[in-house]
Amino acid sequence: MSPRIKRIRKVLNPPAIKGFKPYGPGIEFTVNEPVTLLYEEYEALRLCDYDMFNHHHASGIMNVSRPTFTRIYAIARQKLAKAFVEGRQIVIEGGKVYFDSDWYRCNKCNSYFNNPEKEMAIENCPLCGSGEIEGYQYEYEQTVQGKKLSPDICICPVCGYEQPRDLGIPCKNEKCPKCHYAMRRKRK
């Protein structure tokens, strides 16, 4: 039996930092393996502990069910406790997520920023003024037993037209550009 497909979690912003390192006397004797906090776990902590939303409201913001949100939140708190008690480094990365708005990265000052005014194109970094900017997309890869899975494909059942599935949009909500029929997910 194949594993259940994990639903993509919506994250408002990428974190401002990549992680934390412990410091203090005797730190060289602690475990060197870092604790990895996934983006969705970071987002759950931010929504509940920083923005003070309850689990029901926060689950709606992340576009997951309330029980799923509670599991994500519990795992995040367990990871933080493990990092604090054992003196481990915390790394924030990974997960199957998409960002709520378009984000950009400046190649000169390495800052991330978004474009709240969708009508205006971004040409320069708002911090350093550099024109060396690129769109920022978090790339995820889904793996099962170490094998990479190909991204989902939407197919038209009438004419056979195929296109990659957009993140967060079910294939049944897409219309075929050729025959305007509702598309379906291609079976593997």
Same domain, 36 and 85: yes
Residue 32 lies in a domain: yes
More confident residue, 80 or 100: 80
Q: State the Cα angle at 92 between 86 and 93, rounded to 5°.
A: 130
Same domain, 74 and 14: yes
User: Which of 3-7, 31-35, 87-91, 145-149 has the lowest average pLDDT?
Assistant: 145-149
Same domain, 111 and 82: no
Host domain of residue 156:
150-188
Same domain, 178 and 121: no
Residue 1 lies in a domain: no
Distance, in Å, from the CA atom of 31 to the CA atom of 153, rounded to the nearest integer, reads: 42
Distance, in Å, from the CA atom of 106 to the CA atom of 135, rounded to the nearest integer, reads: 9
Same domain, 72 and 89: yes
Residue 108 lies in a domain: yes
Residue 133 lies in a domain: yes
Same domain, 13 and 95: yes
Same domain, 90 and 111: no
Q: Is the pLDDT of residue 42 over 60?
A: yes
Same domain, 45 and 88: yes
Q: Is the pLDDT of residue 44 over 90?
A: yes
Same domain, 15 and 87: yes
Same domain, 41 and 114: no
Same domain, 45 and 82: yes
Please state the rounded mean pLDDT for residues 98-108: 75
Looking at residue 145, its pLDDT comes to 36
Compute φ and ψ for 58, nearest 5 degrees.
Answer: -65, -35
Distance, in Å, from the CA atom of 38 to the CA atom of 17, rounded to the nearest integer, reads: 13
User: Which of 74-83, 107-116, 152-161 has the lowest average pLDDT?
Assistant: 107-116
Same domain, 93 and 31: yes
Q: How many domains does the chain have?
A: 3
Q: Is the pLDDT of residue 57 over 70?
A: yes
Residue 3 lies in a domain: no
Q: Is the pLDDT of residue 142 over 50?
A: no
